[in-house]
Chains A and B, each alone.
Chain A
Amino acid sequence: MVQKLVVYPDERVNISCTDVRNFGKTLDDVLEDMIDTANEHGLDALAAIQIAYPYNIIIIRNDNGSFDEYINPRILTNQGTFESTETTLYYPDIEVKLTRYDNIKLIYEDRRGNPQHTDISDRKLSSTMQRKLDYLFGGTFLDKIDQNRRDKIIDSLNSKGLKPYTDDVCPTFSRKDYFVSFTDKILFFMGLSLLTPLFSFAPQTVANIYAFDRYGFIAVIVLMIGFFFYAQYEAKKYRQCSSCQIGNNIGVIVKRVAVGIAFATASYFIVNPA
């Protein structure tokens, strides 16, 4: 069955594909859909993700007009490079020059799961295969060119009204930032309180400042725990949110808890009226 092609700004092409594990009817169906779609659009090559199937599958038209099928392909060896001028269906009307391997040795499986290998020395076929392999690993040929050139191409596509769907992208300000903001304010005043010995405050005032430090430290811990769980909730809410990664969140927490511990310890020795 002919499937709809994934064309920019549809970003599903960035999905990293998975190896085919079951060689059976489902694979046959996917391959038939790929062949039907390629024939319908007059294409010489197609990666499965280009019709939104996230599998490591490529088909390339051979000299007989039929398609060679490459399941789970990997480049085993490469030799030499050349400058390839390429276009791809995913980015309409875009042409780029980039470096590709001249000769490649490919290992792959056929639709029955039998291991196969082939040497590709034809530059056109070699560059086509490498371009399709980029798709399988969650990239496009734009990932292989320098940042400036890439930005210009994306800008030109945007100017034509082709922009990625951004409805569920991580917002520039999220509610979890309230936890961080409030914590930072407490930490600021805890830090400020360390200057207490420089002034001649009344004993009760010093006691109050020390009490603030103690409760402030507890508040920092509680806020950071709250931050962690709310950040986890937000990470699941937004599809695109690189700042929601658990590593970033842990970094935020560790930094503030460390500062809190340092200030609380310093307060114990410097501010503590006892």
Chain B
Amino acid sequence: MARVVVMGGGVSGHTAATFAKKWLGNEHEVVVVTPNSKWNWIPSNIWVGVGEMTKEDVTFDLAPVYEKAGIDYRQAKAVSIHPEGKADSDTPYITIEYTDPSKAGQKEELTYDYLINATGPKLNFGATPGLGEGSNIGTNTVSVCTADHAEHANAELQKIFEKAKAGERQKILVGTGHGMCTCQGAAFEYIFNIEHEANKAGVRNMLDIQWISNESFLGDFGIGGLHMKRGGYAASSRLFAESLYSERGIPWIIGAHVNKVEPGKAHYELLDGTMGEVDFDFAMLIPPFAGVGLTAVAKDGSDMTGEIFAPNGFLKVDADYTPKPYNEWKASDWPRTYQNPKYKNIFACGIAFAPPHLISKPMSSPNGTPINPTPPRTGMPSGIMGKTVAHSVVDLIKKGPDAPLHEASMAEMGAACVASAGKGLTNGTAAALTVYPVVPDFEKYPGLGRDLDYTFGEIGLAGHWIKHILHHMFIYKAKLKPGWTLIPE
């Protein structure tokens, strides 16, 4: 009997664990280690953040789902990886520390035959002074990165709406809280949902809503922008985004690295090296992501974290990490199997794998501050990676170590994204976008790097319906209800 340990129970980890268990059956063991007791459909957190959904609507308890699936669930956080075992044993293992209230603080060693790292990111609030401490958000801003954060964000937002109703003009700031953030899409959704709710509440005219981000142009979204085939030609996402922001009366600050947050004030550096500040009464700033801080330990007990993990804390996989200038970046730099090059029984998927480089054009200010979006690895690609890695691990167990691995390069993978711009059965809007491939391949698709036949985008009410249907579909799938495998990632 082989044991597969999956670290993380988010979109990627949950997908990997559930498919691995389904394909392996009861002959082999699948263990999930995640510090969370609940699964969270993160894309809907923006609706919790404006009070259109509750925390319960976007989460569910993991324990009964894993029990039904026959997955060994440990509510614990992974602390270290020991891929060579220890002095008296060659069996690789990880150490975990329970967060389950009944065993809180207890430590344990968990051996594995195959390890899937799908821990997701550490929300690195501490990277920006005033944004928070370590992975804990501070009191100056709010976040929608978790359901709890989103619930808190809504409580604060409602206070702002109340003040606006009382005739007090309010300033709202939404965007990215650091020059190296990803997830501009979540902030994009949140700002337009706030604007939509403000209209519904009749307080829009009392709100100054401001966007701030590290993108060098609106509509970059961390993937260097995208182009939609319209009338036979490619229309840039910049035109689409600028039109939307202008229509909704939202001014923007772009190319900005927020370097300090104080109560009611954010300080930033722009790509031209100038400094600025913007006042706010309410701010939702996405933090940068980092690895969760796992360490790796060699057989002799020495630290080997640098061999397995990249400096940003994400796990090294089969990518080409050779430092290269932007003009030499290739689609083939991106990983295909997500297998660690040194330890073939370790894989990483979702945000947990270390990307070889950015997708957007790298930029920095004259002061040397890097200001560019980092690559998104969430949502659909994250689920596809999880399933692919599970497939590879299952084949390695069932067919032997020479079994060919399954591949899912982000440079050969399309992704669909539905970005809400306001919730409502009859007046909601969302932008539905597809992009292929996620990572531009300038050799295969000279010019824009993408296949325009598979890249399109529209904004409208139907998009909102799709987003809402997807919310229910993916939660249904994650609960492993009948037919869950038929629902694509």
Chain A interface residues (CB < 8 Å from chain B): 11, 14-16, 18-19, 21-23, 54, 72, 74, 76-77, 105, 107, 115, 117, 137-139, 143, 169, 232, 235-236, 238-242, 245-247
A77-B234 in contact (CB<8A): no
**A242 and B327 form a contact (CB under 8 A):** no
Return A218 CB to nearest CB of chain B, in Å: 19
**Among A19, A21, A54, A241, contact of B232 (Cβ-Cβ < 8 Å):** A241
The answer to the question of B239 belonging to the interface, with a C-beta cut-off of 8 Å to chain A, is yes
Minimum CB–CB distance from B217 to chain A (whole Å) comes to 5
Q: Does B432 contact A (CB under 8 A)?
A: yes
Contact: B453 with A246, CB < 8 Å?
yes
Please pick, from B231, B274, B366, the residue contacting A115 in the complex, using a CB distance under 8 A: B366
Q: Which of A11, A15, A16, A245 contacts B456 (CB 8 A)?
A: A245
Known: A16-B234, A21-B326, A107-B255. A76 touches B272 (CB 8 A): yes
Residues B271 and A246 in contact, CB atoms below 8 Å apart: no
Interface core residue of B224, B232, B271, B453 (most chain A CB under 10 Å): B232
Chain A residues near B216: list those with CB within 8 A: 74, 76, 107
The interface centre, meaning the residue of A11, A107, A232, A236 with most chain B CB atoms within 10 A of its CB, is A107
Closest to B228 in A: A245
**Which residues of chain A have C-beta atoms less than 8 A from B326's C-beta?**
21
Asked whether B454 is an interface residue with its Cβ less than 8 Å from the other chain, the reply is: yes
Q: How far is the CB of A248 from chain B (nearest CB, A)?
A: 8
CA distance A245 to B233 in the complex (A): 12
Within 8 Å by CB of A15, from B233, B272, B361, lies: B233
For residue B484, CB closer than 8 A to chain A, the reply is no
Q: Mark B227-249, 1 if CB is under 8 A from A, else 0.
A: 10111111110110000000000
In-complex Cβ contact of A247 among B232, B234, B442, B456 (8 A): B456
B323 at the interface (CB under 8 A from A): no
* Interface 0/1 of B149-168, CB less than 8 Å to A: 00000000000000000000
Cβ of B363 within 8 Å of any chain A Cβ, yes or no, is yes
A76 touches B366 (CB 8 A): no
A18 to B361, CA, bound (A): 11
Q: Does B448 contact A (CB under 8 A)?
A: yes
Picked from B235, B239, B453, the residue with its CB within 8 Å of the CB of A235 is B453
Q: Give bound CA distance, A18 to B238, whole Å.
A: 13
Complex: chain B residue closest to A24, CB-CB: B327
Q: Which residue of A lies closest to B215 (CB)?
A: A74
A232 contact set on B, CB distance < 8 A: 453
The chain B residue with its CB closest to the CB of A13 is B233
Return 9 A-B CB contacts under 8 Å, by A number: A14-B233, A16-B448, A18-B448, A77-B253, A117-B366, A138-B227, A242-B230, A245-B453, A246-B434
CB distance from B435 to the nearest CB of A (A): 12
Contacts of B361 in A (CB 8 A): 19, 72
Q: Does B270 contact A (CB under 8 A)?
A: yes
B239 touches A117 (CB 8 A): no
Contact, CB under 8 Å: B236 / A115: no
Contact with A along B423-464 (1 / 0, CB 8 A): 000000000101000000010000111000110101000000
Task: Report yes or no: A74 in contact with B231, Cβ–Cβ below 8 A.
Answer: no
Q: Considering only CB atoms, which chain B residue lies closest to A139 in the complex?
A: B239
Chain B residues near A (Cβ < 8 Å): 216-217, 224, 227, 229-236, 238-239, 253-255, 270-274, 326-327, 361, 363-364, 366, 432, 434, 442, 447-449, 453-454, 456, 458
B252, chain A: closest CB distance, angstroms: 9
Q: Give CA–CA (A14, B364) in the complex, Å.
A: 30
**Beta-carbon nearest neighbor of B446 in chain A:** A18
Bound Cα distance from A16 to B366, whole angstroms: 28
The residues of A that contact B448 with a CB separation of less than 8 Å are 16, 18
A115 contacts B363, C-beta separation under 8 Å: yes
Q: Which of B229, B230, B233, B238 has the most CB of A within 10 A?
A: B233
- Across-interface contacts of B447 in A (CB, < 8 A): 18, 54
Q: List chain A residues, Cβ under 8 A from B253.
A: 77
Cβ-neighbour of B239 out of A23, A137, A242 (below 8 A):
A137
Check A22–B327 contact: CB distance below 8 A. yes
- Chain A's nearest CB lies how many Å from the CB of B441? 13
The answer to whether B233 and A74 have CB atoms under 8 Å apart is no
- Does B272 lie within 8 Å of A107, measured CB to CB? yes
User: Is A137 in contact with B442, judged by CB distance below 8 angstroms?
Assistant: no
CB-defined contacts of B254 to chain A, threshold 8 Å:
74, 76
Residues in B with CB closer than 8 Å to A241 are 232
A235 to B254, CA, bound (A): 36
Indicate if the CB atoms of A240 and B232 lie closer than 8 Å: yes
Q: A16-B227, A247-B458 are in contact. List 15 more A-B contacts (CB 8 A).
A: A11-B232, A18-B448, A21-B326, A76-B255, A76-B270, A105-B270, A107-B272, A107-B363, A115-B271, A117-B272, A117-B366, A242-B232, A245-B453, A245-B456, A246-B454
| Contact yes or no, A115 B364, CB < 8 A | yes
Q: Which residue of B lies closest to A119 (CB)?
A: B272
User: Is B255 in contact with A242, judged by CB distance below 8 angstroms?
Assistant: no
Contact in complex: B327, A15 (CB < 8 Å): no
A242 with B231: CB separation less than 8 A: yes
Q: Could you say which residues of chain A place their CB within 8 Å of the CB of B366?
A: 115, 117
A76 touches B271 (CB 8 A): yes
Question: How far is the CB of A115 from the nearest CB of chain B, in Å?
Answer: 7
Bound: A54/B402 CA distance, A: 46
Q: Which of B224, B236, B274 contacts A137 (CB 8 A)?
A: B236
Tell whether, in the assembled complex, residue A137 and residue B238 are in contact, meaning their CB atoms are under 8 Å apart: yes
Select one of A21, A236, A245, A247 contacting B327, CB under 8 A: A21
CB distance from A269 to the nearest CB of B (A): 20
Given known pairs A16-B448, A54-B447, A245-B229, the reply for A77 and B363 (CB within 8 Å) is no
Determine the distance from Cα of A76 to Cα of B239 in the docked complex, in whole angstroms.
Answer: 15
Report whether B453 and A138 are in contact in the complex, using a CB–CB cutoff of 8 Å.
no
Chain A, Cβ-Cβ closest to B434: A247
Q: How distant is the Cα of A24 from the Cα of B229 in the complex, in angstroms? A: 30
Q: Closest 7 CB pairs between A and B?
A: A240-B232, A117-B272, A14-B233, A16-B234, A21-B327, A137-B236, A22-B327
When distances are taken between beta carbons in the complex, the residues of chain B under 8 Å from A236 are: 453
Do A14 and B327 touch (CB < 8 A)? no
Neighbouring A residues of B364 by C-beta, 8 Å:
115
Instruction: Give the residues in chain B near A246, CB-CB below 8 Å.
Output: 434, 453-454, 456
For residue B329, which residue of chain A has the nearest CB?
A21
Q: Which B residues lie within 8 Å of A245 (CB)? A: 229, 453, 456
Q: A76–B255 Cα gap in the complex (Å)? A: 6
Q: Which residue of B231, B255, B274 is within 8 Å of A14 (Cβ)?
A: B231
Given A107-B216, A107-B271, verify A21-B442 contact (CB < 8 Å): yes
B residues less than 8 Å from A107 (CB atoms) = 216, 255, 271-272, 363
